[in-house]
């Protein structure tokens, strides 16, 4: 029951943030700063930078959400839909993303160290600068996922290309 409350609260916060950031002018909100890679005040493009670490969010529906900078350390996100979401600088280390959909997600500079991405859908995801050190990617769909020299992969760039990933400097 607590997990449902946190999901509803997060969705409410994300919806409120989206509504307020759509306003004209120089709206300032607390959020993730992709330049400094920290949370703090920035312009209307800011994400919520919430903390849902260690929460059970299995089967959560976050498709298309701005979740830049959010902390989801050791979170359970099995079978969750994070497709088309903005997760720049998100902290997902040690999280359970077993069979999660992260297709076309913006995961630039995200920390996915030792995350369980077994059979996860990462097709078309932007992984530039992301840390996937020791991530478990068995059965993961990686076609057209984007990486660069800053991306820390659990395998070589040659293998990444063989798996259908795209190198973009």
Under DSSP, is residue 95 helix (H, G, I), strand (E, B) or coil?
A: coil
| Beta pairing partners, 101 | 81, 121
Say if 76 falls within a structural domain: yes
CATH of the domain at 115: 2.160.20.80
pTM: 0.75
Tell me which residue range forms the domain holding 167. Answer: 48-169
Number of domains forming the structure of the chain: 1
In a domain, 23, yes or no: no
Instruction: Give every CB contact of residue 161 below 8 A, 6+ residues apart in sequence.
Output: 167
In this structure, are residues 155 and 136 in contact, taking their beta carbons and an 8 Å threshold? Answer: no
Per-residue pLDDT of the chain (169 residues; tens, 9 = 90+): 555 544 444 544 444 444 433 333 323 334 545 555 555 443 334 455 688 999 999 999 999 999 999 999 999 999 999 999 999 999 999 999 999 999 999 999 999 999 999 999 999 999 999 999 999 999 999 999 999 999 999 999 999 999 999 999 9
Closest C-alpha among 33, 20, 103, 118 to residue 68: 33
Q: Determine, yes or no, domain membership for 88.
A: yes
Nearest to 130 by CA among 155, 110, 147, 148: 110
């Amino acid at each position: 029951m607590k997990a449902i409350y946190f999901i509803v609260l997060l969705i409410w916060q994300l919806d409120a943030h989206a509504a307020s950031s759509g306003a004209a002018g120089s709206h300032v909100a607390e959020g993730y700063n992709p330049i400094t890679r920290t949370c703090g005040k920035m312009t209307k493009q800011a994400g919520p930078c919430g903390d849902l670490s260690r929460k059970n969010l299995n089967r959560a529906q976050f498709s298309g959400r701005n979740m830049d900078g959010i902390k989801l350390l050791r979170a359970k996100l099995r079978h969750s839909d994070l497709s088309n979401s903005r997760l720049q600088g998100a902290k997902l280390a040690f999280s359970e993303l077993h069979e999660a959909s992260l297709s076309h997600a913006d995961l630039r500079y995200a920390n996915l160290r030792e995350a369980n991405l077994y059979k996860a859908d990462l097709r078309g995801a932007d992984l530039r600068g992301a840390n996937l050190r020791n991530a478990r990617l068995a059965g993961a769909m990686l076609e057209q996922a984007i990486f660069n020299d800053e991306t820390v992969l659990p395998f070589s760039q040659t293998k990444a290309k063989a798996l259908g990933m795209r190198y973009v400097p």
